[in-house]
Amino acid sequence: MLIKLTISNYALIHELSVEFQRGLNTVTGETGAGKSIILGALGLILGNRADLSVLKNRSEKCIVEGHFDIKQYNLRDFFQKNDLDYDDLTIFRREITPSGKSRSFINDTPVTLKIMGKAGLKLIDIHSQHQNLELSNQKFQLDLVDTVASSGKLLDEYRELYKEFVSLNKVLSELRERAEKESSDLDYFQFQYDQLTDAALQETEQEELESELEKLTHAEEIKSSFTDVLNLLDNEDFSVIRNLRECFKNLVNTGKYIDDARNLAERLQVCQIELKDIFDELEGLAEKTEYDPARIEFVNDRLNLIYSLEQKHHVASLRELIILKDSFMEKIDQVTGYDDKINELKESLDTTRNRLQDKADELSNQRKSVFATIEESVKAVLRQLGISKSKFIIRHEPLPEFSPAGKDSVEFLFSANPDVLPAEISKIASGGEMSRLMLAIKNLLRTSKALPTIIFDEIDSGVSGEIALKMGNILKEFSSSAQIINITHLPQIAARGDAHFKVYKFEREGNTYTSVRLLNQSERVEELAKMVGGEILTDSTIETAKELLNN
């Protein structure tokens, strides 16, 4: 529960500290006194956003701090999950600096606004007149059903399956779209692949063909050169080889007498052998070198094919063409393999759909099991609040498709009069009826889940007289199981509080401020008397105030 709230430098508040009590805390004050300002400050430690406009003094920071007793609310797991230090007495603090920077702390540990907001939802439920509008919101209505049905765990299991189902559906849809698109390209892929395959390309072929073409186109020149060299080496008029042979013989004879001549003869013999080998190889090359127009045409055609394929596919080498051919093959295999992948995904999707349907049915049955309980509980509270002939029905329709919250559509239908058919709440309920309906709903929430603190901001809007007395009694009953902070303009309701706080404005040094104080018994009688009869106190209004307190 909320033990203490301290606020500094927020809107019209300079410094304020309020210590709330167990049970029913009544908050009253004139219109415009600043009750909404206090709620706004409280909202800062519940994760609401703020800007520099909240600073009363732009040169100082705004600080809002809330002290909570949380020992009975099983929040250790939440604190551990979010790396927070747990303490039975937990402190939420929010700071807004003059530069506009916002900082949030739980037990002096910095936290994000998101974490602060999640923690705040576990500690305080603030009801405002705006929340009455949510009564007609089908998400709010379904959430209420889930709260009463305690179907949170089942809903989490459903949502996990739903995420898997949506993900599989998305993957299957994308795969089908890709398969359809690429199937239309299959003929193109196949044509390109066949053309490159038919070309029977070899990685080094281009260089070899270009070299061969050079030889073929210069065959006569090459052959003439070889012939000239052969003639120089050995012909009838002059033969280098024969002359070397004669030189060798002479040196051998001379070597009988001179050792150096013998060595030179050996060296000359090596030259003679090497030159004979060169002659033989040249002779072979000359014989093989022939001008071949047919071969030239073939090589030219082959090279033209290679060049045209390189130009067509914007590549610079045969290797790149071969890689491209392989990539076309991969695309062909991929397209032709889509059917298998699609069938596998369809099987997975069907399995997940069946599991999801089973979980949706289970969730739906659990929800429907509490419809009667909700209807009777709401009508019971409405009877206490003077709507004795009310009708409250939960209309249920199965959704045709899965949704993030299941396959259920629920709608609350209401009628305050026996001769009027139940209809959508926003179309048929008056302001006072809406307030009483919301009180009945809050009673359901109170009995269905632990709410440490409930703040009612003028839930009594639109009611008065005897109904206000009954609403006060119900709020008093609520406070037996939860701390209630009730902002009200009705003395009948204010009198039921265990503690009574007054919000008021005052001026100091030309500045207007808002503050709040706990009233003692005599101050409380005076405040209630003013709420009954206005600022001028009379014996009658004072007596009425005392009677209200003693009821």
Domains, the chain, ranges and CATH? 1-123+452-519 (3.40.50.300), 189-312 (no CATH)
Q: Which amino acid is at 171?
A: V
Task: State residue 450's pLDDT score.
Answer: 59
- The residue among 485, 511, 480, 513 whose CA lies nearest residue 499 is 485
Whether the per-residue pLDDT at 186 is higher than 80: the answer is: no
Residue 158 token pair: 């459903």
The whole-number pLDDT of residue 220 equals: 76
The predicted structure's pLDDT at residue 116: 92
**Rounded mean pLDDT of 393-408?**
94
Quick one: tokens of 458?
Answer: 């003028």
pLDDT at 183 over 80: no
User: How high is the pLDDT of residue 282?
Assistant: 84
pLDDT at residue 283 tops 60: yes
Is residue 449 very low, low, confident or very high in pLDDT (cuts 50, 70, 90)? low
Among 445, 515, 496, 477, smallest CA distance to 150 is for 445
Lowest mean pLDDT among 192-201, 253-262, 354-363, 455-464: 455-464
Mean per-residue pLDDT, 6-11: 90
How much is the pLDDT for 194? 83
Q: pLDDT class for 92, splitting at 50, 70, 90?
A: very high
Q: Are 40 and 88 in contact (CB under 8 A)?
A: no
Task: Report the distance separating Cα 365 and Cα 358, nearest Å.
Answer: 11
Crossing angle between the packed helical segments 205-217 and 293-312, to the nearest 10 degrees = 140
Starting at the edge strand found earlier in the chain, the sheet holding 62-69 runs 13-19, 2-10, 62-69, 89-96, 102-106, 109-111
Its pTM stands at 0.64
Q: Which tokens sit at 316?
A: 């610079």
| Residue 279, token pair as written in the block | 């002659």
Q: Which two tokens stand for residue 68?
A: 């909570």
Count of beta carbons in the 10 Å neighbourhood of residue 249: 11
Q: How many CA atoms lie within 13 A of 216 on its CB side?
A: 15
Give 62's DSSP letter.
Answer: E
pLDDT 10s digits, 329-350: 887 777 676 778 888 899 999 9
How far apart CA 533 and CA 538 sit, in angstroms, is 8
Please name which of 420, 189, 441 lies closest in space to residue 324, comparing C-alpha atoms: 189
Phi, psi of 427 (to 5 degrees): -90, -15
pLDDT-derived band at 551 (thresholds 50, 70, 90) equals: confident
d(CA 37, CA 5): 13
Lowest pLDDT segment from 24-38, 80-94, 190-204, 438-452: 438-452
The mean pLDDT value for 217-236 works out to: 78
pLDDT tens column, 24-43: 999 998 888 888 888 888 98
Residues 120-138: tens digit of each pLDDT = 888 888 876 555 566 778 8
Q: Using alpha carbons, list the distances in angstroms from residue 464 to 235, 264, 315, 485.
A: 140, 140, 88, 19
Question: Does the pLDDT at position 497 exceed 90?
Answer: yes
Distance CA 19, CA 208 (A): 96
Which of 501, 416, 414, 432 is closest to 470 using CA atoms?
A: 432
Could you give the angle at which helices 431-448 and 465-478 cross, rounded to 10 degrees?
20
Mean pLDDT of 148-166: 94
Q: Within a 10 A sphere around the Cβ of 475, how many other Cβ atoms?
A: 24
What value, to the nearest 5°, has the Cα angle with vertex 221 and ends 220 and 226? 95
CA distance 415 to 429: 7
pLDDT reading at 174 higher than 60: yes
Q: Are 272 and 243 in contact (CB under 8 A)?
A: no
178, two tokens: 């890709």
pLDDT of residue 63: 92
Whole-number pLDDT of residue 409: 94
The more confident residue out of 118 and 234 is 118
User: What is the predicted pLDDT for the residue at 482?
Assistant: 86
First to last CA, the chain: 27
CA 27 to CA 368: how far, in whole Å? 39
What mean pLDDT is predicted for residues 430-444?
Answer: 82
pLDDT at residue 132, rounded to an integer: 57
Q: Which of these, 528, 465, 523, lies nearest to 496 by C-alpha position?
A: 528
Q: What average pLDDT does range 189-218 have in this prediction?
A: 82
Q: Summarize the confidence of residues 404-423 as an average pLDDT.
A: 91
Indicate whether 404 pLDDT > 80: yes
d(CA 404, CA 143): 12
Q: What is the pLDDT of residue 171?
A: 92
Q: Find the largest Cα–Cα distance for the chain.
A: 166
Of 506 and 189, more confident: 506
pLDDT score at 337: 66
Mean pLDDT (the chain, rounded): 86
CB-count burial class (<10 Å; 0-12, 13-18, 19+) for 2: buried
Percent of the chain with pLDDT over 90: 34
pLDDT digits (tens, 9 = 90+) for 472-490: 888 898 888 889 999 998 9
